[in-house]
Copies of this chain bind each other. A is one copy, B any other.
Amino acid sequence: MAYELFYWDGIPGRGEFVRLALEQAGADYIDVARTDGGMGRMMAMMKNKTARFAPFAPPFLKDGDVVVSHVANILLYLGGRLGLAPKDEAGRFEANGLQLTITDFVGEIHDVHHPLGVSLYYHEQKDEALRRAENFRDERLPKYLGYFEKHLSKNGEGQIQAVGDALTYVDLSLFQLLEGLRYAFPKVMQATEPDYPLLVALNAQVRELPRIKAYLASKRRLAFNEEGIFRHYPELDRSSG
């Protein structure tokens, strides 16, 4: 039976971290909200009054009777099944910890354009976004990217992988993270990418995986835009140089 992924149509957003794992594994899956009547089904799943578990928000995954919410939790669930997780227990918890650090970073990236909360539009919090963006560019972005770069530097010689000696879902998520940052903050990233050679190399490596390459060229891959997590607002992007 095909996995069913539930996520907002029209944006890569948080759902994309899950899609990349499904695509790399060549898994059979349905991107439900992009099918006829799919949005209605997604909303009904969240409002379900009888199912034991109804997710708070997309993305979530349905695998038969099992419903799994949250990107890191979905990837933990899929990781072993799709051959994209470490085989040992310590490695699995390391991968999940790294994925949750990506989650934290993605949350902060989102909050740059929504510092006052998700219920207001960007134009209603633009001044606050300008202030938050400065702090993000100067402190948070280098802190997170520096952390991942240092982490990658500790792996075995010649290998660029986040956990163990094989590709995992964490590598795919780090690829997407860099893609999103390049879209949202092109000036910042152009200036700062030389500081993170391993992250850049990992990104290039993932992009050339045959299934990922085919996926990126397909219509299934959604373009970044100003409705998602990674938004390009030129006024928030500035190289400090």
Report the bound CA distance from A93 to B119 in whole Å.
Answer: 29
Contact between chains at A117 and B136 (CB < 8 Å): yes
- Is A206 close to B, CB under 8 A? no
Task: Decide: A50 near B154, CB < 8 A? Known: A100-B73, A116-B115, A119-B139.
Answer: yes
- Is A132 close to B, CB under 8 A? yes
Which residues of B sit under 8 angstroms from A55, Cβ to Cβ?
97
* Chain A 121-156 interface residues, beta-carbon cutoff 8 Å to B: 128, 131-132, 135-136, 139-140, 144, 147, 150-151, 154-155
Report the bound CA distance from A155 to B68 in whole Å.
Answer: 18
Contact between chains at A104 and B56 (CB < 8 Å): yes
Contact of A96 among B54, B60, B73, B111 (CB under 8 A): B73
Return the CB mask of A153-168 against B: 1 if under 8 Å, else 0. 0110000000000000
Return the CB mask of A83-102 against B: 1 if under 8 Å, else 0. 00000011001101110110
Task: Decide: A115 near B96, CB < 8 A? Known: A90-B66, A107-B107.
Answer: no
Return the CB mask of A54-67 against B: 1 if under 8 Å, else 0. 11100010000111
* Chain A 40-77 interface residues, beta-carbon cutoff 8 Å to B: 49-56, 60, 65-70, 72-73, 76-77
Which residues of B sit under 8 angstroms from A107, Cβ to Cβ?
107
Q: Please name 25 pairs of A and B residues whose Cβ atoms are closer than 8 Å in the assembled complex, sorted by A.
A: A52-B154, A54-B150, A56-B101, A56-B144, A60-B97, A65-B90, A66-B89, A66-B90, A68-B97, A69-B101, A70-B97, A72-B72, A72-B100, A73-B97, A77-B93, A108-B117, A111-B111, A115-B116, A115-B128, A116-B132, A117-B136, A117-B139, A119-B135, A119-B140, A128-B128
Given contacts A49-B154, A70-B100, A73-B97, 16 further A-B contacts (CB under 8 A): A50-B154, A53-B97, A55-B97, A56-B104, A66-B89, A66-B90, A69-B101, A70-B97, A70-B101, A76-B96, A77-B93, A108-B117, A116-B131, A116-B132, A117-B140, A119-B140
